């Protein structure tokens, strides 16, 4: 199940690059969430920032892997549940694009089997 909740927010970005960043986050969430799981995408305002979160009920990330999850060519240790292994560039690219737009991208997970949340923060622009 995919649930998207999005109010109107305005950011000044390269739309193609932001699309790539969000697509990478959603693709990962769907890839690592087993059939019957959920992916929830939310967009909200937090003071002067637009905050997009992609939360999944997937395989989760161990605490010792969280600091490296955005490294180039990084793959989760022992992960066999993904439908494709990928190149290990998606999250690296997503974080790089967020930072090029003056934003941040962080990952959080309570641990293996407990899903993960990726949160993108960008400065809002006037409407």
Identify the bridge partners of residue 46 per DSSP, sorted by sequence position.
Answer: 49
pLDDT score for 84: 53
117: tokens are 């949340």
Q: Which residues contact 80 (CB under 8 A, 6 or more apart)?
A: none
pLDDT score for 59: 92
Q: Which residues contact 124 (CB under 8 A, 6 or more apart)?
A: 9, 10, 11, 45, 48, 49, 50
In which band, very low, low, confident or very high, does the pLDDT at 77 lie, cut at 50, 70 and 90? low
pLDDT in tens, 86-101: 778 899 999 999 999 9
What ranges do the domains of the chain cover?
2-123
Pick among 3.40.50.720, 3.40.50.620, 3.40.50.10330, 3.30.565.10: CATH of 2-123: 3.30.565.10
The number of beta carbons lying within 10 Å of the beta carbon of residue 63 is: 11
pLDDT score for 10: 84
Q: What are phi and psi of 36, to 5 degrees?
A: 90, -10
CA distance 70 to 59: 17
pLDDT at 81 > cutoff 60: no
pTM, rounded to two decimals:
0.88
Q: Are 102 and 122 in contact (CB under 8 A)?
A: yes
In which band, very low, low, confident or very high, does the pLDDT at 67 lie, cut at 50, 70 and 90? very high
Q: Are 121 and 103 in contact (CB under 8 A)?
A: yes
């Amino acid at each position: 199940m995919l649930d998207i909740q999005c109010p109107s927010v305005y950011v000044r970005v390269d739309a193609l690059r932001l699309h790539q960043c969000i697509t990478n986050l959603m693709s990962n969430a769907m890839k690592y969430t087993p059939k019957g799981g959920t992916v929830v995408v939310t967009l909200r305002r937090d003071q002067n920032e637009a905050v997009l979160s992609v939360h999944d009920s997937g395989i989760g990330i161990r605490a010792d892997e969280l600091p490296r999850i955005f490294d180039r060519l990084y793959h989760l240790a022992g992960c066999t549940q993904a439908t494709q292994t990928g190149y290990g560039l998606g999250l690296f690219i997503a974080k790089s694009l967020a930072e090029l737009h003056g934003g941040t991208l962080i990952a959080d997970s309570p641990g293996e089997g407990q899903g993960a949340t990726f949160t993108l923060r960008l400065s809002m622009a006037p409407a």
